[in-house]
Amino acid sequence: MRRADPRPGREPWPAGWMPALSCRVHRQVLRHRRWLIVAAYAVLVPSALMLAYLLHADFALQPGQRRALLVAVPPLLLARMLVYWRLGIFRGYWQHYGFHDLLKMVQAAALGTMAFVALLVIGGRTGAVPPSVIVIEWLLAMILAGGMHVVARAVREGQIMRRVAGRRTLILGAGEAAERLLRQFQHDRRRTVWVVGLLDDNPSLRHRHLHGVPVLGSTTAVGVVAQREKAELLVIAAPSATRAQMRAMVDCCVKTGLEFKVARPLQELVDGRFPQGHLRDVRMEDLLGRAPVRLAVHPLAREVHEQTVLVTGGAGSIGSELARQLGELRPRRLVILEQAESPLYFVDHELARRFPDVEIIPLVGDITDERRVRRTMTEFRPAYVFHAAAYKHVPLMERNVPEAVRNNIFGTLTVARAAVDAGVRKVVLLSTDKAVNPSSVMGASKRISERIILGMPEFRETATDFRAVRFGNVLGSDGSVLPLFRRQLATGGPLTVTHQDVTRYFMTIAEAVQLVLQAAALPEARGRIVMLDMGEPVRIVHLAENLIRLSGLEPYVDVAITFTGLRPGEKLCEELMAAYEHCVPTSEPGIRLMQGGDAADDELPHQLSRIASAFEAGSELEILRSIRAAVPECRPPLRDVPPLLDREIDVLQHTSGPCDVVRTGVAVPEHSAVYPVGPRAPQPATSSELTS
């Protein structure tokens, strides 16, 4: 489409010629912007000197002053341009001119004035320029040069502000985090967010302005302010808020019915973990009863660097995150042993892409396959072994008692023995708080695995350093309550909770992995159980209610919550420490060491032999009774069976078939599913990590 030229006899102009010409000019300006900046300063320097003379002479220059002005321009121009070039003034970002740039300009003006005076002294013209002119010119140089940059930035920001506004937004918080976020929004060329106000509980900030945006009230008034300002989005930017304050702000946001987000912490942006934006949804971790604990893992970085590390169960939620964090520490080789093929495939691809300098070895294997585990240890000779492979679901293990014993107990024994024979430096077991006074098969099997790692007599005189990490429930891990709640919520509910008073200790995946890495580095953790300071337990029903509210719905109104009763093996409340354990302080705040009776566990080999004999006999009842005999602190139900009597143990051992004595008294029948003597039949087992 072409439009008519008002001048007769001319070809009509093409439509859109003005924007095209503007873009062409803009490209030429950008191409030669360095020389244009130099030219601007070359004009600015003599202008400042001339204005200084005019102010000195009350705008009535005498002929002698004009000659002095012309004589002073060349040395001043030379001095200032050299100083500006040396300090990089010509290379600055005009559109991002800030306080540090202004300080550099003050420095450049002072150095330029000193250089100018030095040139006058060298040229024998000390009396040519009056001292007052030199002082005035110095002040004008700062004002004019700084003003030029400020005007350029103001013009640019004015152009951005005049663009079409985005979603009307309120920011809850008016501190440093809010200031950074506000600047990011204001400088965003896309202009997707338009901040119309700030809310903060500090009374001294009321009616103040931050980057032109007013503080309109407290966070509790978000409903009224949002309605008055016609807000469309709420953003919480208060990283220093306590969990109680965060829950209060979330409740206020939920009541408005508007979409709300949380500003990402600065450290997450620096780490590059979330390049997709500065905002995220509110997570359940934000509403825990305590602040997340951040632990230093740099001591382990020095140990792991250029070493071989093995992670069993490395494709589960905890195991895979552990592998990622270990990859950040740059080991020479990272071996992932996992029975589940498909998850291992995806973890392998992810790690290989993220850490091209680390050799990633994905191995499909079962930790109860002694030949496979020993071959892995012998071939790769790991310096560190993180044993995350275990069965973790309490109700499921109540129905599959033999598999819990095979995987959690004898799988751990297999890994530990192979590690000792291969000369592994450290072995870290991932355990659970369900091992404390256990009432379930899973918890009891993990308690026995702790005793194997820390108290097996055959490991006492070895060079291998054994230690364990005891977890609470891990939010967001496979099998945890949150994914279940989310799936139920996606189908419209109801959300199922076992008991209205059931409580659990929770930790985030990041905390769990940091705890494992820190436990591997703490020198005082050798032969002990490491646990995070878990704070107060959280009621599961409160998690369900908060999740419903975060979805913009009302609990018991829009989505029902039903109570199904405790499942087999479950306890109403978990415990962190048994009666026979005591706390030992550590050098790392937030970490506790549990010291118990595992250091000299001479009865353990005999108890393991009893469990192995019961396992081979194929009697679930006898397995349960053997477990109770090995874990006397077990609490009902553990299927409500009494422990074995000595005479029953003797009968069991003499009727279960021929036995081989495996090392220190652990009797395992021949052709056992635990330690096969001949060819081993395939056994279905998933070596996913323990998150409980």
pLDDT tens per residue across span 315-354: 988 899 999 999 999 999 999 999 999 999 999 999 999 9
Long-range contacts of 78-82 (CB under 8 A, 24+ apart): 78/119, 79/112, 79/113, 79/115, 79/116, 79/118, 79/119, 80/41, 80/45, 80/108, 80/112, 80/115, 80/116, 80/141, 81/38, 81/41, 81/42, 81/45, 82/115
Question: What pLDDT shows up at residue 691?
Answer: 34
Q: Is the same domain home to 139 and 197?
A: no
For 446, the domain range is 360-580
pLDDT class of 417 with cuts at 50, 70, 90: very high
Helices and strands in the chain: count of H runs, count of E runs: 23, 26
pLDDT of residue 94 exceeding 50: yes
Q: In this prediction, what percent of the chain has a pLDDT beyond 90?
A: 32
Beta strands 495-497 and 561-563: pairing type?
A: parallel
432-490 pLDDT tens trace: 989 999 999 999 999 999 999 998 999 988 999 999 998 888 876 766 788 888 888 88
pLDDT (mean) for 205-223: 89
pLDDT of residue 70 exceeding 90: no
pLDDT (mean) for 598-613: 84
Question: What pLDDT shows up at residue 189?
Answer: 67
- Residues whose CB is less than 8 angstroms from the CB of residue 76 and which lie 6 or more positions away in sequence, other chains included: 45, 46, 49, 112, 116, 137
pLDDT (mean) for 268-279: 51
CA 540 distance to own-chain centroid? 24
Spatial distance between the Cα atoms of 325 and 271, rounded to a whole number of angstroms: 12
Q: pTM of the prediction?
A: 0.67
Cβ-in-10-Å burial (0-12, 13-18, 19+) of 6 comes to exposed
Spatial distance between the Cα atoms of 189 and 185, rounded to a whole number of angstroms: 9
Q: Is the same domain home to 491 and 386?
A: yes
Q: Choose among 391, 390, 410, 392: nearest CA to 611.
A: 410
| Residue listed under structure tokens 């019915």 | 257
Q: How many angstroms separate the Cα of 429 from the Cα of each of 390, 393, 419, 598? A: 10, 18, 12, 14
pLDDT class of 149 with cuts at 50, 70, 90: confident
Question: What pLDDT shows up at residue 598?
Answer: 57
Q: Is the same domain home to 129 and 180?
A: no
Question: What pLDDT shows up at residue 373?
Answer: 96
Whether 617 maps to a domain, the answer reads: no
Question: What pLDDT shows up at residue 634?
Answer: 87
**CB 331 within 8 Å of CB 308:** yes
Whether 347 maps to a domain, the answer reads: no
Whether 310 maps to a domain, the answer reads: no
Whether 678 maps to a domain, the answer reads: no
Q: Is the same domain home to 228 and 366?
A: no
pLDDT class of 268 with cuts at 50, 70, 90: low
Question: What pLDDT shows up at residue 275?
Answer: 43
228-250 pLDDT tens trace: 999 999 999 887 787 778 888 88
pLDDT class of 660 with cuts at 50, 70, 90: very low
Of 140, 159, 178, the last residue of a domain is 159
Q: Choose among 478, 477, 474: nearest CA to 538.
A: 474
Q: In this prediction, what percent of the chain has a pLDDT beyond 70?
A: 78
Q: Is the same domain home to 54 and 70?
A: yes
Q: Is the dihedral of CA 598, 602, 607, 612 positive or negative?
A: positive
What DSSP letter does each residue of 473-505 carry, written as one string? EEETSTTSHHHHHHHHHHTT-PEEES-TT-EE-
Beta bridge partners of 213: 210
When mean pLDDT is compared across 280-284, 540-544, 663-667, the lowest value belongs to: 663-667
DSSP reduced 3-state for 279: strand
Of 259, 282, 305, the last residue of a domain is 282
Beta bridge partners of 336: 311, 362
Q: Rounded to the nearest 5 degrees, what angle is found at the Cα of 475, between the Cα atoms of 471 and 477?
A: 85
Q: Which CATH number covers residue 466?
A: 3.40.50.720
pLDDT (mean) for 155-179: 74
Q: Is the same domain home to 215 and 67?
A: no
Whether 642 maps to a domain, the answer reads: no
What is the number of structural domains in the chain?
3
Question: What pLDDT shows up at residue 129?
Answer: 85
Whole-number mean pLDDT of the chain? 80
544-592 pLDDT tens trace: 888 888 777 788 988 999 999 988 888 888 888 787 777 887 877 778 8
Long-range contacts of 280-287 (CB under 8 A, 24+ apart): 281/550, 282/236, 282/250, 282/550, 284/475, 284/476, 284/482, 284/543, 284/546, 284/547, 284/550, 285/475, 285/476, 285/508, 286/243, 286/246, 286/250, 286/262, 287/243, 287/246, 287/247, 287/250, 287/546
What DSSP letter does each residue of 94-148 carry, written as one string? GGG--HHHHHHHHHHHHHHHHHHHHHHHHTT-TTTS-HHHHHHHHHHHHHHHHHH
183-211 pLDDT tens trace: 888 777 667 788 899 999 988 888 888 88
Q: Is the same domain home to 207 and 144?
A: no
Q: Is the same domain home to 395 and 528?
A: yes
DSSP character at residue 458: G
Question: What pLDDT shows up at residue 680?
Answer: 32
Whether 58 maps to a domain, the answer reads: yes
pLDDT of residue 682 exceeding 60: no
Question: What pLDDT shows up at residue 286?
Answer: 66
Of 282, 314, 337, the last residue of a domain is 282
pLDDT class of 104 with cuts at 50, 70, 90: confident
Highest mean pLDDT among 127-136, 172-181, 298-307, 608-617: 608-617
Question: What pLDDT shows up at residue 568?
Answer: 85
Q: Is the same domain home to 225 and 127?
A: no
Spatial distance between the Cα atoms of 516 and 429, rounded to a whole number of angstroms: 9
Question: What pLDDT shows up at residue 346?
Answer: 95
Q: Is the same domain home to 124 and 218?
A: no
Whether 348 maps to a domain, the answer reads: no
Q: Is the same domain home to 190 and 260?
A: yes
pLDDT class of 595 with cuts at 50, 70, 90: confident
pLDDT of residue 675 exceeding 50: no
Q: Cα-Cα-Cα-Cα dihedral of 471, 472, 473, 478, to 10°? A: 0
pLDDT of residue 293 exceeding 60: yes
When mean pLDDT is compared across 3-17, 135-149, 450-464, 587-601, the lowest value belongs to: 3-17
Tell which wins on pLDDT, 135 or 664.
135
Q: Is the same domain home to 398 and 528?
A: yes
pLDDT class of 687 with cuts at 50, 70, 90: very low
Classify 537 in phi/psi space as left (phi over 0), alpha (psi -120 to 50) or beta: beta
pLDDT class of 642 with cuts at 50, 70, 90: low
Question: What pLDDT shows up at residue 267?
Answer: 52
Whether 349 maps to a domain, the answer reads: no
